Every structure is written in C-alpha cells, then in structure tokens.
Amino acid sequence: MASRPMADTAARILDVAERLVQVQGFNAFSYADVAAEVQIRKASLHHHFPTKAALGQALIARYRARFSRALAEIHVGTSDARARLKAYARLYTGVLRKRRMCLCGVLAADFETLPGPMRQGVLAFFSDNEAWLAGVLEEGRRGKTLQFQGPASTLAAFVVSSLEGAMLVARSYGRVERFEAVVKKLLGDLQR
C-alpha cells in the first residue's frame, strides 16, 4: 500500500518537471522549483530522482513511451497515409495549444549541455518518429496517395525538423495558426 503514494509522488514530480522543461527549458529550472510546486522537500525529490540527469532520463522515457502509444493509436485508427500524417501533426498542435513545446524539441536546444544518456534518449525519440513517418510516407507512395522524390527516410527527417521548427516560431509569436499553416503547406505538397 505504501508504494502507491510513492508512485503518485513520482508521477507528480514528472508532471511538474515536464511542464517546466516544455515552458522554460531543462537548464532553467531547479529541484527547488519542482519541490515547491509538488509541495515536498528537496530531499524527497532526490529520493525519487537522485540527480537532475536521472529526472531528465525519466522524463524522456515517459514522453517517448507516451508518444509511441499515440503513434500506435494513429496506426490502428486509420489505414490512410494522409490521415495518419494529419493525426501526427495534431500531436504537435495539441502540445502547442497548451503553450508548451515538444519535450525532446526543447531538450534538443539544450543538447550540448545534457548528460550523455539524456542525449541518447532525445536522439532515440527523433529516430522513433522518423522511422514511423518513413513507414507512413512509403505506404502513401506505394498506395499512390502521396508523392515525393527520394528516400522516405530523408523526407521523414524533414517533416520532423519542420514541425519542431514551426512549433518554435509559432510559440514565439503566440499563434498556433502559424504552425497550422506550415502543416497545411507541408502536407498539401505531399498529396497527389
């Protein structure tokens, strides 16, 4: 029974830390910020996540798993490549509407200052997304619903980079519509 409150506390810590990273960046928050919001002592926070790097690794693992589940749901929910791409873009739009950024996109901005395991986690997140997108793009090309030149993997990297960059600029302007316009152009250019 005692493990449930500890798990709840760990989840609350991760929730607060994720929001802080998505809004401020990894290097801009401290354990004191998290402890104050969760209303626990810093020592308790260190009990759950001994170092900020351990907290960062846990954040990436949880975010990556959640994103993977969302991609699986998109895959099961439709068989049309165009609909899958739109649903994928909506994942980003949903984050932006909360006035946040993609967790791994924010961490990529801090990449050089991150510990090695966190860097590996960020790269794995982007690799997962690019692999999934490459599969969707190739399906669309085979089904003649999407058209593009070159390897699907190259275009997948372009799509991820474009969405991450579009989020950053749209957030700077405080206008989700800017992001949505980029998505519309990007996806429109792929359709047959």
Quick one: pLDDT at residue 191? 84
Any idea what the CATH number is for the domain that residue 25 is in?
1.10.357.10
Quick one: pLDDT at residue 1? 43
Range of the domain at 140: 3-190
Tens-level pLDDT at each residue, the chain (192 residues): 445 666 799 999 999 999 999 999 999 999 999 999 999 999 999 999 999 999 999 999 999 999 999 999 999 999 899 999 999 999 999 999 999 999 999 999 999 999 999 999 999 999 999 999 999 999 999 999 999 999 999 999 999 999 999 999 999 999 999 999 999 999 999 986
DSSP, collapsed to helix, strand or coil, labels residue 41 as: coil
Taking the alpha carbons at both ends of the chain, their separation in whole angstroms is 57
The DSSP result for 86-123, as a single string, is HHHHHHHHHHHHTT---HHHHHHHTGGGS-HHHHHHHH
Quick one: pLDDT at residue 160? 98
Burial class (CB in 10 A: 0-12, 13-18, 19+), 54: middle
Structural domain total, the chain: 1
